[in-house]
Structure 1
Amino acid sequence: MDQAAPTAGAVPATAAPATAAPATATTYQYTGNPLFRDLHTADPAPLVVGDTLYLYVGHDEAAEGQMFNITEWLAFSTKDMKTWTAHGPVMQPTDFSWVSRDAWASQVTEKDGRFWFYTAVEHDPEQGSQGKAIGVAVADNPLGPFRDAKGSALVRNEDTQGPHSWDDIDPTVWTEEDGISWLIWGNANIYMAKLAPDMISFDGPIRQIELPDFEEGPWIFKRGDMYYLAYASMDKTISPDERISYATAPAITGPWTWRGEITGAAANSFTIHPGIAEFKGEWYLFYHVGTLDVGDLEGGLGRRAVAVERMTFDEDGLINPVTQTETGILPLP
């Protein structure tokens, strides 16, 4: 897709096709939300490595009349939250030989010096399964190249008893101090399982977590001794759109206590997706909205745009409500 002329906001220093890694890296200066104004991005997944924050997103490319068309995962990085570098695509769904389409939500995690990419895709029905599945890829650095680490799905639709064919989506991963890693995922139902040391199989059963109004998009993190599980929630008596709620627990295995809402519905988007990270002493909530027009394509459900806000905690460790704004994290020092 050709890039349109950028609007005010994060302005690219050089132009390059969004579907190919640029020969000269495109850079953006952050001047408010959304972060990137010349292409549609969704499902933000931050990863901090040393002095750099990497942000992985799906590239929304829905045309008029399409609900979703997400063909690749893109990566961006920053060292100061001011200047962002676009690194182009890091992987496409068809890089998994058993996948037919759909670069849905993902998360990258570092373990033992390697970078593990867990993501939701559409399984090729001619290869033994139908519906959404979770794949895992691996690379030796945060920008890839990522390759299929398993050669088959880590989770297939048949592996869980969900209400529909897309209940196995939106993986989030956490590694304990003892080196044990856990995967959490789901839509309508939320599942979790202990990962084996190889990071491409499970060491134990898949079990279900009970969370009020859970819809999709879980994101696991820890602060001090408290575990937090943020997620896209839905209560149609409040809103027909998703919001971001959260629960806390003393251990990753629970018990989980619902703590309420972090932020409300995204502007002009039925979906919202949390990605949370601490970077250089500040906590950030990444999410997406549907307000960005690119060329003649208006923002909306299949054409979303990533935004960011600061996130703070009260004296008991609970998350203070976050207001979604156009100014975002401005002013920056």
Structure 2
Amino acid sequence: MIKRCVLAVGLAASTLAQAGNPIVKDIFTADPAALVDNGRVYLYVGKDDAPAGGKDYVMNEWRVYSSCDMQKWTDHGSPLGYGAFKWAKGSAWASDIVKRGGKYYFYATVSHASIPGKAIGVAVSSSPTGPFVDARGSALITNDMTRETEIGWDDIDPAVFVDDDGQAYLYWGNTVLKYAKLKPNMTELDGPIHTVGLEAFTEAAYLHKHKGSYYLSYSRKFPEETVVMRGPTATGPWSFGGVIMEKNSKVNTIHQAIVDFNGKSYIFYHNAKLPGGGEYRRSVAVEELRYGPDGKILPVAQTAEGPAANPSPGCT
């Protein structure tokens, strides 16, 4: 997979004591994004701060963790909060990240301060652990740019993919999936916004490539299950590849990210398995992802153990 692949350790980093799922056990986390580079996998999550019994998402910052073996994780703190975007007023929702030209571009969902609804911003850093700063000084996507629905949260969950020819794509949306090409600077759209008709699409679109095929996974229905489409290009045409993860029992969302690391594939997701967890107090976990002989992604069960150790040579 070409998309997600820097060995850097942030200041005041600390190693989490326990392996297994959930990955982070001292705070509630959600909406995983992942980046792999130079023998280390970096995990980016939103921090759920809702109180027990809370009735809404309370999310003010993102956190980043890294691992050399998919079991021991290092806490690098917060690389940014929604306040990195001066035009935003809150909601550190789902994100994605990509490396290009020696820089790291972080695409984030926030609430816009002056344009009603959710928006997508782009932050940039010279390190995968931040700090990240606003790359534009304005939103890349705002709610008034798309008119397919009347809801204020249909421009969320950015996912960025760079194809073999160097063309970058941004996918996003709730209820309706949208995508657009990105310019090489990674901070501007390069052409019109397209919509994709997918059966019962809810949110959390994610594109990756494996052995010549493109896989578009997303959250379907509500409560959500993770399904996948398969196609010959980054824009389809798509054929249904099945359910790859069943819905959660205590939380309606699930939100996946998929990476290759040390010869194996992995899927990150969230559930509510920490004590006190629930709809607004989620927990990110990870499992190994496997393909059948025909390239079909096999169903993935959620486990407490998580994947086996897969150490990266020379990574500490």
Taking structure 2 as the reference length, the TM-score comes to 0.92
- Report the 3-state secondary structure (helix = DSSP H, G, I; strand = E; otherwise coil) of the residue aligned with 1:66: coil
Match of 1:263 in 2: 245
Structure 2 CA distance for aligned equivalents of residues 257 and 154 of structure 1: 30
Match of 1:41 in 2: 29
Question: Which amino acid is 2:274 matched to?
Answer: L
Contact 1:62 1:68 in 2 (8 A): yes
- Report the 3-state secondary structure (helix = DSSP H, G, I; strand = E; otherwise coil) of the residue aligned with 2:83: helix
Superposed displacement of residue 29, structure 1: 4.0
Contact 1:243 1:263 in 2 (8 A): yes
Question: Which amino acid is 1:101 matched to?
Answer: G
Contact 2:95 2:107 in 1 (8 A): yes
Structure 2 CA distance for aligned equivalents of residues 22 and 331 of structure 1: 23
Superposed displacement of residue 329, structure 1: 1.4
Structure 1 counterpart of 2:100, from 107, 111, 115: 111
Superposed displacement of residue 221, structure 1: 0.5
Structure 1 CA distance for aligned equivalents of residues 309 and 190 of structure 2: 46
Runs of 4+ deviating beyond 3 Å: 21-24, 330-333
How do residues 90-129 of structure 1 correspond to structure 2 at under 5 angstroms? 90-125=79-114, 129=115
How do residues 173-322 of structure 1 correspond to structure 2 at under 5 angstroms? 173-234=160-221, 240-293=222-275, 298-322=276-300
Question: Which amino acid is 1:130 matched to?
Answer: P
How do residues 6-85 of structure 1 correspond to structure 2 at under 5 angstroms? 24-63=12-51, 64-85=53-74
Structure 2 counterpart of 1:168, from 148, 155, 162: 155
State the superposition RMSD in angstroms: 1.6
Contact 1:212 1:258 in 2 (8 A): no
User: Greater CA deviation, 25-34 or 261-270?
Assistant: 25-34
Deviations 1:23-70 (Å, cap 9, x if unpaired)? 642211443211111110000111001101000000000113231001
Structure 1 residues without counterparts, runs of 5 or longer: 1-20, 235-239
Question: Which amino acid is 1:108 matched to?
Answer: I
Structure 1 CA distance for aligned equivalents of residues 110 and 209 of structure 2: 27
Deviations 1:75-95 (Å, cap 9, x if unpaired)? 000111122100000011011
- Report the 3-state secondary structure (helix = DSSP H, G, I; strand = E; otherwise coil) of the residue aligned with 1:155: coil
Contact 2:10 2:129 in 1 (8 A): no
Deviations 1:71-114 (Å, cap 9, x if unpaired)? 10000001111221000000110110100001100011001111
Question: Which amino acid is 2:130 matched to?
Answer: G
Contact 1:41 1:304 in 2 (8 A): yes
- Report the 3-state secondary structure (helix = DSSP H, G, I; strand = E; otherwise coil) of the residue aligned with 2:243: strand
Structure 2 counterpart of 1:130, from 110, 116, 130: 116
Structure 2 counterpart of 1:154, from 140, 146, 170: 140
Structure 2 CA distance for aligned equivalents of residues 227 and 95 of structure 1: 33
Structure 2 residues without counterparts, runs of 5 or longer: 1-8, 312-316
Number of matched residues? 301
Contact 2:70 2:309 in 1 (8 A): no
Structure 2 CA distance for aligned equivalents of residues 280 and 158 of structure 1: 42
Structure 1 CA distance for aligned equivalents of residues 184 and 195 of structure 2: 22
Structure 2 CA distance for aligned equivalents of residues 201 and 330 of structure 1: 40
Taking structure 1 as the reference length, the TM-score comes to 0.87
Superposed displacement of residue 253, structure 1: 1.6
Structure 2 CA distance for aligned equivalents of residues 331 and 255 of structure 1: 36
Structure 1 CA distance for aligned equivalents of residues 148 and 274 of structure 2: 34
Contact 1:30 1:81 in 2 (8 A): no
Contact 1:275 1:285 in 2 (8 A): yes
| Higher RCO (Cα < 8 Å, 6 or more apart) | 2
Question: Which amino acid is 1:142 matched to?
Answer: P
**Identity of aligned pairs, percent?**
42
Structure 2 counterpart of 1:144, from 103, 109, 130: 130
Structure 2 CA distance for aligned equivalents of residues 119 and 23 of structure 1: 23
- Report the 3-state secondary structure (helix = DSSP H, G, I; strand = E; otherwise coil) of the residue aligned with 2:144: helix
Superposed displacement of residue 266, structure 1: 1.9
